A and B are shown apart, each in its own frame.
Chain A
Amino acid sequence: MTVPPLRDARARLSGWGGVPQAAEYPVAAPRDAEDLRRLVGRGDMIARGNGRSYGDPALNRHRTVQMSGLGRMLAFDAGNGVIEAEAGVMLGDLIAALLPRGWFPAVTPGTRFVTLGGMIAADVHGKNHHRDGGMRETLRWIDVMGAQGTVRRTSPGEALFEWTVGGMGLTGVILRAGLRLRPVETGWMRQTTVAAPDLHAVIAALETDDAPYSVAWIDSLAAGADLGRGLVHLGAHARLRDLAPGMDRFPRARTGLSVPVMAPSWVLGRPLVRAFNRQIYRRGLAAPVSALRDWESYFYPLDRIGQWNRLYGRRGFVQFQCVLPEAAAVKGLTALLGASAAGGHPSSLAVLKKLGPEAGPFSFPMAGWTLALDLAMRDGTPALMDRLDAIAIDHGGRFYLAKDARLRAGTLTRSDPRAEAFRAMRQDQGLRAAFRSLQSERLEL
């Protein structure tokens, strides 16, 4: 039987933040390992999950390989909660299939519209990183297709596994994974909200409470004595006995609204953000100390607004996310928040979270504090980002590549000596020509 040629189509793509702006890329859509092998054989490609990384790690001008066609769930062991699935499976679909059976992802980012492959390649962290570690810790094995088209199953401790988890698609294509889920009695979360008047109070609240999940929303426009004030959300999976009679034990996701057209860029301007942040803070103060929230509104509040990234208009937005080691954290965070508040560039969203220890040779997390700031793309934004980079490096920090759209190669190397080892590994393994993204070229990885 003749094999169809598997031709490239052209598609308009960008990262989630819209920086770089959307452009046409040649895109191929394999449906199985055989298709993929032929594409890998043609060289110079990058795998793309659901494009929820903010910048350019899932873009390649020669060929971007859309993984959604390799999106099958293969086997589930209800005894130990291990699912075998292809890398293109969407996290939200995994939840839809397995939550009704009492299982939830052991690690999840703040959106369920990501693929397993994207979660593995970025080694994502969730609100439970300080207790449970990241995506890496949930994986039993992964199948990776290398530059020669051969597939290897690799497990924790082996070099291929360690580099691939957190390797941003640059070590090969992740085909399948075996990962462990967490048993849950319900699809509900018990959330406690603490309003903290300044950065010290926020950090103290995150430090002292050993909740399974924790994160803080910071009012990025508060300055002076209020600097760093925010709401600390602590969460835990609700037990069956926590539910009132008649409550749906495993509620389904509600479909979100979407933001239909590109908004004009003033929508997320300073006055609006100020009002929004104040509103969130007030609501927090008024909120009951503890409440039950369904899994979707707890873990994925932004998913409910659909394409909220379009609120930033055509110029898009960037996210600054770094992690600072424990010791210098308070000084560093004060400086970062101060610089962003002073920069006249309101960050509409500022999120602070405590991370657990470093794991793996190139993954982002390390013990300390991670701050993420969303910044609308304006004339002064690149300069502000450079200032933030410098502050982070001065305080021993490093950057999250899943959020990056504009870091410089030199800055990466200065922030993270592991980048050199990653480059050397790519060189030794003959991976540099085979797997490349706009990001890997910019960062000279």
Chain B
Amino acid sequence: MSKAAVLVLGGRSDIGLAIAHRFAAAGHPILLAARRPERLADDAADLRLRHAVAVSLMDWDALDPVATEAMIAALDPLPGIAVCAVGLLGDQAQAEHDGAAAALVIRTNFEGPALAMGWLANRFEARGSGVLVGISSVAGERGRADNYVYGAAKAGFTAFLSGLRNRLARRGVQVVTVLPGFVQTRMVEGRALPPRLTATPQEVAAAVDRAVARGRDVVYVRPVWRVIMLVIRLIPERLFKRMRL
């Protein structure tokens, strides 16, 4: 039996590509949706050569809601699994003074991914099967001075996914929220990250694979992050507001 196709939105992201390789290695055909997808031609060739699966590229901009709806409506055949790895860390300091910069972070991490997952959810619901995987972030678990614009957008996305899951729980559609901590990718290039808390994109991919296979809802990458975030969430606001985390 042939395996279900996997659609990766934000297919050029380090995490998204790692996920594509992981599923391709298991024999799933791959669709990568990204801006200027011609930049992914070599990655597509690599996926085909290594894993002997079909790979196609789609031109897609998460900031264009009309095009997003049309792209998803046109998917034929409809993939079995869809992963959203779109994101933009942005510059918090800039976002505090530059409305356009802040809006870009909010739209890229929340509006774009949420709308795409919403359209996909409708089609999966109509079919009665499918898996949606949203890559959100631990940054959405509590707002911090360092990155609350990004964090708030991720919180929005996390809540959106939680709502979708609730809506689709009895409709044969699985919704996975992935909450990575630090991941060694282009997004955080050059930052000094604590090695024990920093995962590779391949670890994220393995976590996604496991979550899909086991029907999980919310997964952290590296178990220690579950503990860290539990503690961070428990700190009373009175204290938290004075802390530098």
**Using a CB–CB distance below 8 Å, which chain A residues touch chain B?**
1, 4-10, 29, 31-32, 71-76, 86, 93, 96-97
Q: A72-B45, A73-B45 are in contact. Are A93 and B50 (CB under 8 A)?
A: yes
Contact in complex: A9, B191 (CB < 8 Å): yes
Q: For chain B, what secondary structure do more than half of its interface residues adopt (helix, strand, loop), or is it mixed?
A: helix
Q: Which residues does chain A contribute within 8 Å of B59, judged by CB atoms? A: none
Contact in complex: B42, A74 (CB < 8 Å): yes
Q: Which residues does chain B contribute within 8 Å of A31, judged by CB atoms? A: 186
Give B35-58 as 1s and 0s: 1 = Cβ < 8 Å from A's Cβ atoms: 100010011011001110000000
Contacts across chains A and B counted by CB atoms under 8 Å = 42
Q: Which residues does chain B contribute within 8 Å of A86, judged by CB atoms? A: 42
A6 to B51, CA, bound (A): 30
Contact in complex: B189, A73 (CB < 8 Å): no
Q: Which residues does chain A contribute within 8 Å of B189, judged by CB atoms? A: 4-7, 9, 29
Q: Which residues does chain B contribute within 8 Å of A76, judged by CB atoms? A: 49
| Interface range for B | 10 to 19
Is B190 an interface position by the 8 A CB rule? Answer: yes
Given contacts A7-B191, A29-B189, A73-B45, 12 further A-B contacts (CB under 8 A): A4-B186, A5-B190, A6-B189, A7-B190, A8-B190, A9-B189, A71-B46, A73-B46, A75-B45, A76-B49, A97-B49, A97-B50
Q: In whole Å, how far is B112's beta carbon from the nearest beta carbon of chain A?
A: 15
A10 to B193, CA, bound (A): 10
A1 to B12, CA, bound (A): 15
Q: Which residues does chain B contribute within 8 Å of A6, judged by CB atoms? A: 189-190
Q: Which residues does chain A contribute within 8 Å of B49, judged by CB atoms? A: 73-76, 97
Q: In whole Å, how far is B93's beta carbon from the nearest beta carbon of chain A?
A: 16
A-B interface, 8 closest residue pairs, ranked by CB to CB distance from nearest: A7-B190, A72-B46, A73-B49, A72-B42, A97-B50, A74-B45, A73-B46, A7-B189
A4 to B46, CA, bound (A): 24
A29 to B189, CA, bound (A): 9
Interchain residue pairs with CB less than 8 A apart (9)? A4-B189, A5-B189, A9-B189, A72-B42, A72-B45, A73-B46, A74-B46, A86-B42, A97-B50
When C-beta atoms are compared, the residue in chain A nearest to B44 turns out to be A72
When C-beta atoms are compared, the residue in chain B nearest to A73 turns out to be B49
A75 to B39, CA, bound (A): 16
